[in-house]
Structure 1
Amino acid sequence: MKTFTLMAGGTGGHLFPAQALGQELKRRGHAISLMTDRRTSRYLDVFPANRTYVIPSATPRLRNPIKAIEAGFTILRGMATARSTLKKLQPDAVIGFGGYPTFPPFLMASLMGIPGLLHEQNAVMGAANRALARFADGLALSFDDTRHADKFAIARTVTGNPVRDAVLAVADQPLPPIGEGMKLRLLVFGGSQGARFFSEVMPGAIEALPESIRSRLILTQQCREEDLERVTRAYAAAKVNVELATFFDDLPQRIAGSHLVIGRAGAGTIAELGVLGRPAILVPLPGSLDQDQSANAKVMEAAGGALVWRQDTISPQSLATELERLLPDSDRLTTMAARAATIGRADAVGALADFAEAIAEGAAAPSTPRSTEEGERS
């Protein structure tokens, strides 16, 4: 039996693959602990850790000297907290899943000589993983082509992005049938923290649909708390069969039961759509420095499993026009579902667990990276 400490930022995009790996490592008889931040409260009751530790962390804000100094002191405090915890846990290896809460404990583990593996969920390596990669013994990737990954001369492999047991449990469920007069199931969500944009654009789009489609629609949508009342009123006026919530604990089952998904293009969303084989309209989060969601979405678009729209090009009417074409088209939805499934990696969690065990044993073989200069051009 080995002891592993998982490290992840406190959002679903980082925690869900960590949860999936924890579930698999526990099945293999290993002991699991988690280091994260204070945002994890809604996930901890299902996270497979023997113990969870909240480590002080901060996002460096270099453009603001005062904030940068404050962040530096917080990171040092996090490293001190992590050191005492790691001395107590004595893990055989640590696995980081990105986000700045990973930085203090992963760096301290490296300074203490504990082997470390990083997992990158996105098609563009995140800033925290890029900062930590020089201290890691291995790098696991979700996509064959991951920007910045070639810069680091460490053991590297493409495992895919692990999905939770709840996703694998419904992975063989076929796309619900579509026929004349049958219900059309549409799921809208914006990631683990919701998306105001969908609350603004979806009610108008649904209202603009012809009655022949609107009367068949079963809509499930995630909303922010502050938007719930307004969106509820809008759908009531449109006379739509709708369920609204700020968070769905059973999201994998809801994805599997849908004909079409509308959402952001976070790495977890792409991984689950692929494993479950569901068609989507993806709207990457605009404004992110690395444009990681755009890169993720292009993978699904290239496979033929999704339409990718820029947020600033969407209006309620344009979305209604697309939904009117797409929702009743059984052949097109079925084809998109099959193509989405071609990028699914149901075996990702096993591959990542194998890599983690190899790192803990000191048996990970180094990859042959391209030169740094070539990596800079990728």
Structure 2
Amino acid sequence: MEPNPLILLAAGGTGGHLFPAEALGVELMKRGFRVRLATDSRALRYSGLFTRDTIDVVPSETVRSRNPISLARTGVTLATGMAVAIYLLRKLKPAAVVGFGGYPTLPPLIAARLLRIPSVVHDANAVLGRANRFLSSYVSAIATSLPGVLDRDPHLASKTTTVGTPMRPAILAAAAVKYAAPDTTGPFRLLVVGGSQGARIMADIVPGAIEKLEPSLWGRLLLTQQVRDEDLGRVRAVYDRLKIKAELAPFFTDLPARLAANHLIVSRSGAGTVAELAAIGRPSILVPLPGSIDQDQFANAGVLSQAGGALRIPQAEFTPDRLASEISALAAEPAKLAGMADAARKAGRLDAAERLADLVVKVAGI
């Protein structure tokens, strides 16, 4: 008997890339397809759908500087990745290759083009990422999470489909939990997350903001905050002094359930985070990571803020005073929080994995 068709998924080794790949993988497996993941070595720590025997590590490297030596090293690594990817695709013979962004997607997607294998890239951001931008002219189809991403490029827009961001099962389960607005005298649950690039600013700003809240709110506050190991001591000292009920950790394995359980979330605005807040329907204060060439996090946060589901605060304006003011105002207006939760939910899509799977099957001609 012929084995079921294989779809090779390619993604950078971060949650923002891996989680949508996992969600699509779950949907494709429901439809009887086999799936494998091509990625970098970071994903070997990943404990989701993909296990070590279904992960293929392809060498890759990000362009980190314009230094000639650094560029040469990056070029050699990517060339090695290309050789590995071509060998891998010839061995696996996938029906299609689907990329989710990040430099580790370059070798598998370019190899797919050279070997005439149908391919798709998915981008979760409001601005197409650099790797996907480079690949966009070479792939069979482009899937975006948000509408209008490529409207200014007719050549690419003609092969672009808006599908949303595929959601892993844990997010779909959290989305089933209805938002319950806080009582003005009851507990107020606040979740602060920052991701690998955002926890430091949260450790610098949030404790000072909490200290500036009215003491009456201290007693109501149930705070959960992602804090790096090196910042735990100083952050804990502030909350202990204020007698704040706070749970602090560098990482939360059950983040979807925690998103659903809280009244307000303070976070960076990576594409995955914004999509999950929308899918679950939770109000948020979003602080885009500055310095990005594409300003993708600023654009991502703008999608939810324009929909009425979030407040967007640029990092230059993210001060203890400003954050304390916003938290105090929202804690005093449960109806506004409920309205933000509803607006966020209306901006979310829960069927994105199915829609992307439909596109992949169509492109693969299966």
SS in 2 for 1:173: coil
Matched, 1:2 2:5: yes
Shift of 1:192: 5.2
For residues 20 and 203 of structure 2, the distance between their equivalents in structure 1, rounded to whole angstroms, comes to 27
SS in 2 for 1:244: strand
Is 2:166–2:350's contact at 8 Å kept on the other side of the alignment?
yes
Cα-Cα RMSD: 1.7
Q: 1:111 to 1:66 in 2, by over 3 A?
A: same
Structure 2 segments unaligned to the other structure (5+ residues) = none
Per-residue CA distance 1:268-317 (angstroms, 9 max, x = gap): 11111111110010101001000001111111111000110011112112
Q: Which amino acid aligns with 2:35?
A: I
Q: TM-score, normalised by structure 2?
A: 0.95
Which residue, 231, 234, 256 being the options, matches 1:230? Answer: 234
For residues 211 and 104 of structure 1, the distance between their equivalents in structure 2, rounded to whole angstroms, comes to 55
For residues 272 and 318 of structure 2, the distance between their equivalents in structure 1, rounded to whole angstroms, comes to 23
Q: Which amino acid aligns with 1:52?
A: I
For residues 142 and 175 of structure 2, the distance between their equivalents in structure 1, rounded to whole angstroms, comes to 27
Stretch deviating more after TM superposition (78-87 or 133-142): 78-87
For residues 282 and 154 of structure 2, the distance between their equivalents in structure 1, rounded to whole angstroms, comes to 31
Which residue, 272, 291, 294 being the options, matches 2:295? Answer: 291
For residues 332 and 264 of structure 2, the distance between their equivalents in structure 1, rounded to whole angstroms, comes to 11
Q: Which amino acid aligns with 1:289?
A: I
Structure 1 segments unaligned to the other structure (5+ residues) = 363-378
For residues 255 and 269 of structure 1, the distance between their equivalents in structure 2, rounded to whole angstroms, comes to 10
- Which residue of structure 2 lines up, in the alignment, with residue 25 of structure 1? 28
- Which residue of structure 2 lines up, in the alignment, with residue 305 of structure 1? 309
Which residue, 342, 345, 350 being the options, matches 2:346? Answer: 342
Describe how 1:235-274 pairs up with structure 2 within 5 A: 235-274=239-278
Which residue, 130, 133, 138 being the options, matches 1:130? Answer: 133
Q: Which amino acid aligns with 2:96?
A: A
Is 1:163–1:268's contact at 8 Å kept on the other side of the alignment?
no
Matched, 1:76 2:72: no
- Which residue of structure 2 lines up, in the alignment, with residue 279 of structure 1? 283
For residues 351 and 43 of structure 1, the distance between their equivalents in structure 2, rounded to whole angstroms, comes to 25
Shift of 1:163: 1.2
Q: Which amino acid aligns with 1:121?
A: A
Q: 1:192 to 1:63 in 2, by over 3 A?
A: closer
Q: Which amino acid aligns with 1:156?
A: T
Is 2:184–2:331's contact at 8 Å kept on the other side of the alignment?
no
Shift of 1:150: 4.2
For residues 42 and 215 of structure 1, the distance between their equivalents in structure 2, rounded to whole angstroms, comes to 39
Is 2:44–2:52's contact at 8 Å kept on the other side of the alignment?
no
Shift of 1:352: 0.5
Q: Which amino acid aligns with 1:32?
A: V
Identity of aligned residues (%): 48
For residues 347 and 45 of structure 1, the distance between their equivalents in structure 2, rounded to whole angstroms, comes to 20
Shift of 1:53: 1.1
- Which residue of structure 2 lines up, in the alignment, with residue 90 of structure 1? 93
Shift of 1:50: 5.7
- Which residue of structure 2 lines up, in the alignment, with residue 141 of structure 1? 144
Describe how 1:59-74 pairs up with structure 2 within 5 A: 59-61=62-64, 63-74=66-77
Shift of 1:49: 8.2
Q: 1:154 to 1:69 in 2, by over 3 A?
A: farther
For residues 153 and 187 of structure 1, the distance between their equivalents in structure 2, rounded to whole angstroms, comes to 38
Q: Which amino acid aligns with 2:144?
A: L
Which residue, 112, 115, 123 being the options, matches 1:112? Answer: 115
Q: How many residues align?
A: 362
SS in 2 for 1:17: helix
Per-residue CA distance 1:17-69 (angstroms, 9 max, x = gap): 11111111111111010011122233234437861011110123562111111
Q: Which amino acid aligns with 2:330?
A: L
Shift of 1:160: 0.6
SS in 2 for 1:248: coil
Q: 1:47 to 1:149 in 2, by over 3 A?
A: farther
- Which residue of structure 1 lines up, in the alignment, with residue 167 of structure 2? 163
Stretch deviating more after TM superposition (191-200 or 234-243): 191-200
Q: TM-score, normalised by structure 1?
A: 0.92
